[in-house]
Amino acid sequence: MTQTHDDLTELTELEAQFADRLELTPEAADLLFREARSANSFSDEPVTDEQVRAIYELIKWGPTAMNNQPLRIVLVRSPEARGRLVEHMGGNNKPKTSTAPLVAVLAADDDFHDELPTVFPVFPGARDMLAADDANRRTTADLNAALQAAYFIIGVRAAGLAAGPMTGFDADGVTREFFPDGKHRAFMVVNIGRPGPDAWFDRLPRLGYDEVVTTA
């Protein structure tokens, strides 16, 4: 990704000093976090299934609780499906979702526990424990699918692409359109592609270290 820092994203002297303590290279830190931005516009360059496959083969290794893997991804490729999706997007998100080279709908699979005998064989009772507790299963799906969504965003950036993650949409509507089985819940839509012209505004401020981290 070739992006220029604006004033707010120039590394401060302090940030540069701490960055030296990372094992990750500055180039990778820029690619995944420091220069990466949520794009609001995209170029026409398509995003291929091979690129998405490369992203998945990377981020599938991200850790989850009991190796559960509730995230499901629908790649919205057909114009008809795109139209159905845009219908449920919030007003500001409609133009972005209409024009991004690829749009992915991310959902949590509430039946993820059926995979546990395969993906977490070290605890044979895990599936039945969760099957008996819908509230716990749903909370577990929410948290771990969200972790996996973050890994997915990082993975999109690892592929040299910009992600535009959004939660501003009618989640029940998108769920009905794309997961009619009633066992999934859509929670994020991600625009994916190369950034277009004027793809972002100035960077917004982050909380300071002392506002977030305390010691006990």
> Hey, which residues between 29 and 68 contact a copy of itself (CB under 8 A)?
29, 31-34, 36, 38, 49-63, 65, 67
The DSSP result for 111-122, as a single string, is TGGGGHHHH-TT
Selected binder of a copy of itself within 89, 100, 154, 189 (CB under 8 A)? 154
Segment interacting with a copy of itself (CB under 8 A) among 93-101, 127-135, 191-199, 204-212 = 204-212
Residue 158 is a binding residue for a copy of itself (CB under 8 A): yes
Beta pairing, strands 102-109 & 71-76: antiparallel
Residue 146 is a binding residue for a copy of itself (CB under 8 A): yes
Residues 6+ apart with CB under 8 A from 29: 19, 22
Structure token digits, residue 104: 């992915």
Across-strand partners of 107? Answer: 72, 186
Selected binder of a copy of itself within 3, 73, 99, 111 (CB under 8 A)? 73
CB 142 within 8 A of CB 64: no
Min separation Cβ 38 and a copy of itself, Å: 5
Residue 25 is a binding residue for a copy of itself (CB under 8 A): yes
CB 110 within 8 A of CB 183: yes
Residue 160 is a binding residue for a copy of itself (CB under 8 A): yes
Min separation Cβ 51 and a copy of itself, Å: 6
Distance of CA 206 to CAs 87, 108, 210, Å? 32, 28, 12
Min separation Cβ 208 and a copy of itself, Å: 9
